[in-house]
Structure 1
Amino acid sequence: MRCRILVVDLDGTLTLSRHTYELSTEALLALRKARDAGLRVVLATANGLDFALTIARYLGIRDVVAENGCLVYLDGTTYELCSADMSAVDQIVLSTGAVSPSPQNKCRKYDLAYIPLAEDAVERIREAVGPSFVVDSSGYAIHVRPAGVDKGTAVLWLCEKLGVPCFQIASVGDSDVDVGMLKVSWGIAVGNATPAAKSAAKMVVEGPSGIGFKEAVDIILSGGGCTPDDVDSERA
């Protein structure tokens, strides 16, 4: 086994599909198998930190990347990779009339989530907030955060903090918000991932969501993946 760390998305990757919050039994068993094999598992999610830590506790995971890379909880300490006052941004986003706020926003600091009310919600919000903020979709919600930070930023930070080459970090994801981490690590996309996620990954497994995650873990534990070829670990 060449991989040392496994970074895994939550919604759409550990769930039954990209349209449900119900966790996959296959994914849960694969998580346990990965931990038992000695992989350090990190949960990387668009969700707020409090929610992510609660889920991680029941998954047996200690380390968390939350708010699409803006917050990292590592070895009991929270690190902030974003810096911005999002209160004014929130008002601008809501003034578009294209979304409603996620109930999680009252517990989120940098990456705000919204439920789309219009088909062109992403485009309208991008125009309203300007280039200083990233607007993308996880398939579950529209996310707005300061530009320059994503899950890939957090993975690069982990590489430096833990002293692990980025090609020895495997990541598994399904959506556009996972593109950054799939690029900078040894990325694997599940079978029903978005085109952007598949394009960013080094490998695409056949199975969807949780079943695909199980396939990814089997590949990792059998010695597949985590080679230095084609890993964009120098991304700024």
Structure 2
Amino acid sequence: MSRIRLVISDVDGTLVTSDKRLTDAARAAVTKLQDAGIGFTLTSSRPPVGMRLFSDALGIILPMGPFNGSSIVDPSLAVIEQHLIPADAVAKSIALLDRYGIDIWIFTNDNWYIRRDDGKYVPHEQRTIQFDPTQIDDFAPLIGKACKIVGASPDFALLERCETELQAALGDSALAVRSQDYYLDVTPPGQSKGTFVQAMSKRLEIPADAIATLGDMQNDLPMFKVSGLPIAMGNATADVKKLAKHVTRTNEQDGFAAAIDFILARNAGG
């Protein structure tokens, strides 16, 4: 049993509460990790700008993995590594999401674009990432610049069906996976939260067995598969819990802080 030397956490549904609040217990837990000499960083479906408030609040000094780990940025948001969705995959994604009447957003490294401002989840995303979208009539100029596409819908079952169909249509050209029940993300091929874990393992010369990962949704599964100690939140989906080695409390019950206590106790006992 390897001693954990690095913790990589998801943000929404994991680090923060449902109302996107970073609790005192979560802050204290990260301090405990730092005091124990254990590294800590984040990977999320969020764009870089949506992660900056946590890197500042938690004193993160390691690279972070926005866009489901398909980009790597330093705590100041300077790009270390970036991948784009191939133009053909962007066009296919837009066409399929349009066919199902799903709201479409496109994120570049430093901006968020929508075609209308009345989408149900636009205000929610504005509050979440603390950044305003740019409204445009046509996505064509962004075809070669997309870091992430989001299909947003209150019809969770529709998004689940669309996830399967879109991934089949995209093949190996991009990854389609839900980051929330109401968000379907399309990100660059061959990149995921799992590749971010592997990149951090190589960068810090820490074996994957010594890395703990925390998450709650399907987009967290790739990092669970490559880390030594995958921990699922109590609010996680069943398939995420199935792949975890430990299940903590929910994000409304300071499950993140409880998971950190579990890791520290495990290290002490090992």
**TM-score normalized with structure 2 length:** 0.72
Q: Corresponding residue for 1:123?
A: 164
Distance 1:42 1:27 in 2: 13
Distance 2:146 2:32 in 1: 33
8 Å contact kept, 1:85–1:110? no
Distance 1:225 1:73 in 2: 32
Q: Corresponding residue for 1:78?
A: 79
Match of 1:196 among 228, 239, 243: 239
2:143 paired with 1:100: no
Q: 1:86-110: CA deviations, max 9, x gaps?
A: 4x53343232323212374535842
Q: Corresponding residue for 2:150?
A: 113
Distance 1:226 1:179 in 2: 27
Change (3 A) 1:60 1:155: same
Q: Percent identity?
A: 27
Deviation, 1:84, is: 4.0
Distance 2:28 2:219 in 1: 25
Change (3 A) 1:75 1:226: farther
Distance 1:158 1:127 in 2: 30
User: What amino acid is the match of 2:258?
Assistant: E
Q: Corresponding residue for 2:7?
A: 6
Deviation, 1:10, is: 0.2
SS at match of 2:65: strand
Distance 1:222 1:202 in 2: 15
What are structure 1's unaligned runs of at least 5 residues? Answer: 228-236
2:217 paired with 1:218: no
Deviation, 1:29, is: 2.5
Deviation, 1:116, is: 2.5
CA RMSD of aligned residues (A): 2.8
8 Å contact kept, 2:15–2:26? yes
8 Å contact kept, 1:3–1:225? no
Distance 2:250 2:165 in 1: 31
User: What amino acid is the match of 1:50?
Assistant: V
Q: 1:142-164: CA deviations, max 9, x gaps?
A: 11123322101111111112111
Change (3 A) 1:102 1:22: farther
Q: Corresponding residue for 1:35?
A: 34
User: What amino acid is the match of 1:116?
Assistant: S
1:56-75 to structure 2, matched below 5 A, reads: 56-62=55-61, 63-74=63-74
1:127-206 to structure 2, matched below 5 A, reads: 127-139=168-180, 140-185=182-227, 186-205=229-248
What are structure 2's unaligned runs of at least 5 residues? Answer: 113-144
Q: 1:33-89: CA deviations, max 9, x gaps?
A: 222322211111111123223432223213311111111124776332635434x53
**TM-score normalized with structure 1 length:** 0.81
Deviant stretches of 4+, over 6 Å: none
Distance 1:22 1:83 in 2: 30
